[in-house]
Amino acid sequence: MTDNLTKDVPSPPAGEGAVPAQATDAPATDAPATGAVPAATGAVPAATAEAGGATRGRPAGGGDELVRVTDLTKLFPVRRGTLVRRGAGAVRAVDGVGFAIDRGTTLGLVGESGSGKSTTGRLISRLLEPTSGSVVFDGRDISHLSTRELRPLRRDIQMIFQDPYSSLNPRHTIGAIVAAPLRIQKQVPRGGVRNRVRELLELVGLNPEHYNRYPNEFSGGQRQRIGIARALATRPKLIIADEPVSALDVSIRAQIINLLDGLRTDFGLTYLFIAHDLSMVRHLSDRVAVMYLGQIIELADRTDLFEGALHPYTHALLSAVPIPDPTSHRRRERIRLRDEVPSPLDPPPACRFHPRCWKAQELCRTEAPPLLERTPGHQVACHFPEKRDVV
């Protein structure tokens, strides 16, 4: 891979090499919302085994960004009444979220139900259009592209879904399923579609001879592999994986996690990994963002987050994860939150976590804490951040 420095490029078509096109262009300078994007750095991670590791630990915004999200907001209007429809406010599913993902790295997005993590994923893949704010992908603002304008982009951003049962069409053979993105993108790979599909099936650990079988002949883990093969077909740059292993059995989860991890290093892929399982997120991510009621409350490199979390909600999440060691609960500090996550239709004012926070003071009830960088690369939105040993 070489670094063709180009400015203001739309996503170029994928190359025809044996691996997904990656790192063909450095960050462009048309990211108006940020102003923080450096001019051509020339530092493009190679598509080698070191790609993931080399960029690890780099402070946010200083690297070679593939994705930058700024002040991203999505409102879903809620209507009440069956005869006379009237507006009844809006769910602020995602509310002013900002982060960047460097090429070849994985950002883990964690949070409980209603935190807005899946909506964030769908906004970046542009399955949803943001209400405000921007998504810059590969140097280009894609926030409000039309369906037609988005089509070439779909090559570069692919999704892997949670449920391998509902995300594969039962009437299509797996050959047709994996080839679908190529067909839609009108891409004819060298050697033909059929060969490419066989390659992909082999790549994800399936028997290429099973080309003509239907999804019902495969187990959950195998179906998830089919979904991954489909996502890789167009050689994307970014893969958004939304709870990709939650529906799988324990012994199968590890297989899929290893597969995702291997593909990332082999092809220099960039992942947005959305999950509620913190230990899984720790395993796969370089950086981790914790969301609560539509906002990011803490964002840090993996080690900083899991060993030096500063936000009380992150402490509570970590403390609640059951540890597979029967002797551990005698040693661990238990933080038990009151109640449950409030409705995103009517989130608490100021700090959204304050009604459940044991540290909340008057300030937390009156003023929303901004997401501030406390140490390099470690941002937290709390008036009273502090470290605490909870695992």
Partner 1 sequence: MTGPAPTGTPFLQVRDLTVSFRTDDGVVHAVDKLSFSVERGRTLGIVGESGSGKSVTSLAIMGLHRRGRRVGIDGEIRLDGEDLVTAAAERVRGLRGRRMAMIFQDPLSSMHPQFTVGEQIVEAYRVHNRVSRATARRRATELLELVGIPEPARRLDDYPHQFSGGMRQRAMIAMAVSCNPELLIADEPTTALDVTVQAQILDLMRELQKEFNSAIIIITHDLGVVAEISDDILVMYAGQAMEHGPVEEVFAHAEHPYTWGLLQSITRLDRQLETTLRTIPGSPPSLINVPPGCPFHPRCTYRELAGPAASTVRPPLTETSPGHRVACHLPVEQRRRLLREEVTPTL
Residue ranges binding partner 1 (CB under 8 A): 112-113, 219-222, 249-255, 257-258, 261, 276-280, 282-283, 306, 316-329, 334, 336-337, 340-341, 391
For partner 1, the closer of residues 37 and 203 by Cβ is 203
Distances (CA, A) of 267 to 76, 186, 291: 36, 22, 29
Collapsed DSSP state (helix, strand, coil) of residue 272: strand
Q: Which residues are CB-contacts of 364 (< 8 A; sequence separation ≥ 6)?
A: 350, 351, 354, 357, 383, 384
For partner 1, the closer of residues 168 and 280 by Cβ is 280
* Residue 280 Cβ vs partner 1, minimum distance, rounded to whole Å: 5
For partner 1, the closer of residues 147 and 327 by Cβ is 327
DSSP for 56-114, please give it. Answer: TTPPTTSS-EEEEEEEEEEEEEEEE-SSS-EEEEEEEEEEEEEEEEETT-EEEEE--TT
Closest CA to 187 of 63, 332, 20: 20
* Residue 121 Cβ vs partner 1, minimum distance, rounded to whole Å: 18
For partner 1, the closer of residues 115 and 143 by Cβ is 115
* Residue 303 Cβ vs partner 1, minimum distance, rounded to whole Å: 9
Closest CA to 383 of 137, 362, 120: 362
Token output for 357: 């926070």
For partner 1, the closer of residues 172 and 332 by Cβ is 332
* Residue 60 Cβ vs partner 1, minimum distance, rounded to whole Å: 21
* Residue 341 Cβ vs partner 1, minimum distance, rounded to whole Å: 7
* Residue 101 Cβ vs partner 1, minimum distance, rounded to whole Å: 20
For partner 1, the closer of residues 212 and 327 by Cβ is 327
Alpha carbons 271 and 257: distance in angstroms, whole number: 12
For partner 1, the closer of residues 155 and 356 by Cβ is 356
Element (H, E) at 298: strand 295-301
| 49 contacts 265 by C-beta, under 8 angstroms | yes
Closest CA to 286 of 102, 99, 72, 92: 102
| 73 contacts 94 by C-beta, under 8 angstroms | yes
* Residue 327 Cβ vs partner 1, minimum distance, rounded to whole Å: 6
